[in-house]
């Protein structure tokens, strides 16, 4: 009887922890659903779309790689989720088939006390109900994490596109000058940066600055939307890890919860760190470009870009601390 009561208490704690986190995360997303929709729509419009005149075919390749990474991590996340759930359900079914004693039966997501489940088909019906309902909660749980991760992946990609655009801005300004002056460029023709008029450099610089500011703005909107969610994620992860260590006597359940809690944190922190690094690498891209000999006014504009890049774009947990 003591063992049964311990399993009941552990199952209830597992269920309560998971449902509380899932509900809290869903409430935060529902409160920000309008802003989130606008952010996702903005990422599908200019200047975030590939622009052949700005970065050439490289932008298309970077965006395609970004989409592939998002799809891959989403697929892996969902597979791991349902494997974890399937493992719990499989243990329940095995215990049910191996023993005819109701005291040995155990639901994967907590006990049911208001219905007599000591015989079939009540036990199987309630098991199906638990699996379906928990699948819905798990869907909300994972979708929230993947939304944050996907947005961070795309912002990181935009900074990479910006870096490529900066490295080649002088070259594209030169090509634009040749196009307007009807000069044919040959393969062995070496251009002189000092020969590019400032009006072409100014146009290219304005395009880069506007793109840079647009990325920073979309990152700030992302923080405004998800900062509350990140606070819930980190607090719930700390609470989950602490409670699992002392209260859950089932090693497999404890291990699964631990991976679930740490997985969401690792995913968000990894891509948050990528955004920080890529935003700072913008200054390196300015240093790598062929700016020697260009107009001094153009070089002053590049200095301002480098100064702005020294302040990294970060994602915080409700303004309390950086995501890392």
Q: What is the Cα–Cα distance from 297 to 130, expressed in whole angstroms?
A: 67
Distances (CA, A) of 192 to 170, 189, 208, 226, 279: 10, 10, 21, 47, 30
- Answer yes or no: is 206 within a domain: yes
- Answer yes or no: is 317 within a domain: no
Q: What is the Cα–Cα distance from 101 to 184, expressed in whole angstroms?
A: 87
Q: How buried is 37 (Cβ within 10 angstroms: 0-12 exposed, 13-18 middle, 19+ buried)?
A: exposed
Domain that holds residue 293: 2-309
Dihedral angle at the C-alpha atoms of 218, 224, 230, 231, nearest 10 degrees?
160
Dihedral angle at the C-alpha atoms of 167, 168, 170, 173, nearest 10 degrees?
-150
State the DSSP code for 314. Answer: -
Rg (CA), the chain: 27
pLDDT tens-digit profile, the chain (324 residues): 434 444 444 444 555 556 666 677 777 778 878 888 888 888 888 888 888 777 778 888 998 999 999 999 888 888 888 887 787 788 888 888 887 777 777 777 767 777 777 777 888 888 888 888 888 877 777 887 888 888 899 999 999 999 998 888 888 887 888 877 766 555 545 667 777 888 888 888 889 899 999 999 998 888 888 877 777 777 777 766 666 655 554 555 556 666 666 777 788 888 888 999 999 999 888 888 878 878 888 888 888 888 888 888 887 766 665 544
pLDDT, tens digit, for every residue of 104-157? Answer: 777 777 677 777 777 778 888 888 888 888 888 777 778 878 888 888 999 999
pLDDT, tens digit, for every residue of 55-94? Answer: 778 888 998 999 999 999 888 888 888 887 787 788 888 8
Q: What's the total number of domains in the chain?
A: 1
- HSE-up of residue 90 (Cα within 13 Å, Cβ side): 7
- Answer yes or no: is 316 within a domain: no
- Answer yes or no: is 320 within a domain: no
Of the candidates 179, 173, 182, the residue with the CA atom closest to the CA atom of residue 208: 173
Q: What is the Cα–Cα distance from 198 to 254, expressed in whole angstroms?
A: 64
Contact 322, 237 (CB under 8 A): no
- HSE-up of residue 36 (Cα within 13 Å, Cβ side): 16
Give the pair of three-digit tokens for residue 259.
């991976």
Contact 237, 264 (CB under 8 A): yes
| String of DSSP letters for 228-278 | HHHHHHHHHHHHHHHHHHHH---HHHHHHHHHHHHHHHHHHHHHHHHHHHH
Distances (CA, A) of 101 to 8, 119, 120, 268, 298: 16, 9, 12, 45, 82
Q: Say how far residue 110 (Cα) sits from the centre of its chain.
A: 31
Of the candidates 191, 188, 163, 162, the residue with the CA atom closest to the CA atom of residue 176: 191
- Answer yes or no: is 268 within a domain: yes
- Answer yes or no: is 315 within a domain: no
- Answer yes or no: is 319 within a domain: no
Contact 272, 145 (CB under 8 A): no
- Answer yes or no: is 260 within a domain: yes
């Amino acid at each position: 009887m003591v063992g049964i009561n311990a399993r009941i208490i552990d199952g209830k704690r597992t269920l309560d922890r998971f449902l509380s986190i899932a509900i809290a995360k869903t409430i935060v997303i529902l409160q920000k659903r309008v802003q989130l929709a606008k952010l996702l729509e903005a990422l599908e419009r200019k200047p975030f779309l590939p622009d052949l005149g700005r970065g050439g075919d490289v932008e298309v390749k970077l965006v395609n790689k970004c989409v592939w990474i998002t799809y891959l991590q989403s697929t892996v996340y969902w597979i791991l989720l349902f494997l974890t759930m399937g493992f719990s359900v499989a243990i329940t079914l095995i215990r049910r088939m191996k023993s005819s004693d109701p005291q040995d039966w155990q639901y994967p997501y907590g006990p049911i006390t208001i219905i007599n489940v000591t015989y079939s088909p009540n036990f199987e019906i309630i098991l199906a109900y638990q699996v379906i309902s928990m699948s819905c909660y798990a869907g909300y749980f994972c979708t929230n994490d993947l939304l944050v991760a996907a947005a961070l992946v795309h912002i990181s990609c935009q900074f990479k596109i910006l870096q490529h655009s900066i490295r080649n801005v002088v070259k594209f300004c030169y090509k634009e000058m040749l196009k307007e002056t009807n000069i044919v460029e040959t393969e062995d023709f070496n251009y002189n940066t000092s020969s590019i008029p400032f009006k072409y450099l100014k146009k290219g610089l304005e395009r880069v600055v506007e793109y840079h500011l647009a990325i920073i703005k979309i990152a700030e909107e992302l923080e405004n939307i998800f900062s509350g969610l990140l606070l819930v994620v980190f607090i719930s992860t700390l609470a989950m890890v602490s409670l699992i260590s002392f209260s859950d006597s089932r090693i497999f359940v404890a291990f699964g919860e631990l991976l679930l809690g740490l997985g969401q944190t690792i995913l968000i922190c990894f891509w948050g760190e990528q955004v920080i690094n890529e935003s700072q690498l913008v200054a390196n891209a300015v240093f790598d470009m062929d700016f020697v000999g260009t107009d001094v006014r153009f070089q002053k504009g590049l200095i301002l870009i480098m100064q702005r890049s020294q302040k990294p774009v970060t994602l915080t947990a409700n303004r309390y601390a950086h995501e890392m």
